[in-house]
Amino acid sequence: MLLEDTTTIAETHARCRVIALDRARELAAERENRRLRGALERQAAELRRSQARLVAAADAERRRLERDLHDGAQSRFVAIALQLRQAQAAAPPGSEAVALLDAAIAELRTGLDELRELARGIHPAVLTDHGLGPALEALAARAPLPVEVRGALGGRLPETVETAAYFAVSEALANVAKYAGATHAVVEVRRERGRLVVTVDDDGRGGADPRGGSGLQGLADRAGALGGRVAVESPAGFGTCVRIELPEHGLGPTSEQGAGRRVA
């Protein structure tokens, strides 16, 4: 009887030892998994920060190029136009020189308009100076079809957020003009639970494919680098809605310049 009891105790100890070893291995595996998850999360966070820094650097370079064009080439064009006007005023009325100078001034104006359009495409000054609302209004005013801008922001957002939203809307409106067959579009902006939400709706034919080289994929990548996203809904025959979501905090401090300004 004593031998049987001793054997049972030994077997129980052995089983307990196996269970303890198994549990120890499980705990070690759990700790290793937590460590690996933490490392992956840190790497993913650093990747997002790196992507966001690249976006911020690209935006800063856009602003620098726009300033250089405005302060350099555009200013020179304007000065040359004034000099040509002075020369035209001094030329004999009705002479060939007057006609040649008039043609030169017209060409210069065309070149200046093209340069200004290029500067707006690089980085519009109104966005830097006055913020997203006025920049969207200016964008809508230049669109080749009627565009209504709705919503209120109540203040400035970080530059990276404003820039990403502006160029997403610009690309969406360009697609509306090129492909949608629309007669009207609506841009709406709002703040929603810590995010900037911008939608572009049109009354066109729908059926848009965002993967078809429309430029929206690049904007979606840009939004993703800031922790946002771009979604497209385009049922055939019912128009297209492009929805842009970006975190309000962006990368930098929010400027109070233009606080309280309404979009529309």
Got the DSSP string for 15-54?
HHHHHHHHHHHHHHHHHHHHHHHHHHHHHHHHHHHHHHHH
Residues 157 and 235 in one domain: yes
Structural domains of the chain, count = 2
CATH number of the domain that 175 lies in?
3.30.565.10
Is the pTM here over 0.75, yes or no?
A: no
| Residue 256 forms part of a structural domain | no
Residues 89 and 149 in one domain: no
Residues 147 and 242 in one domain: yes
- Structural domain range at position 240: 131-247
| Residue 257 forms part of a structural domain | no
| Residue 6 forms part of a structural domain | no
Residue with the two structure tokens 């929010």: 254
CA-closest candidate to residue 243, choices 213, 212, 210, 211: 210
Confidence of residue 213 (pLDDT cuts 50, 70, 90): low
Residues 31 and 79 in one domain: yes
The predicted-structure confidence for 94-140, as pLDDT tens digits, reads as follows 888 888 888 888 888 888 877 777 777 777 888 888 999 999 999 99
Measured on CA atoms in the order 132, 138, 140, 142, is the torsion positive or negative? negative
Q: Do the Cβ atoms of 85 and 104 come closer than 8 Å?
A: no
Q: Do the Cβ atoms of 65 and 122 come closer than 8 Å?
A: yes
Residues 243 and 135 in one domain: yes
Residues 112 and 86 in one domain: yes
- At residue 263, the pLDDT reads 37
Span 166-190, mean pLDDT? 93
Type and span of the H or E element at 110: helix 96-122
**Residues 170-201, buried b or exposed e (16+ Cβ, 10 A)?**
bbbbebbbebbebeebbbbbeeeeebbbbbbb
Share of the chain above pLDDT 70, in %: 86
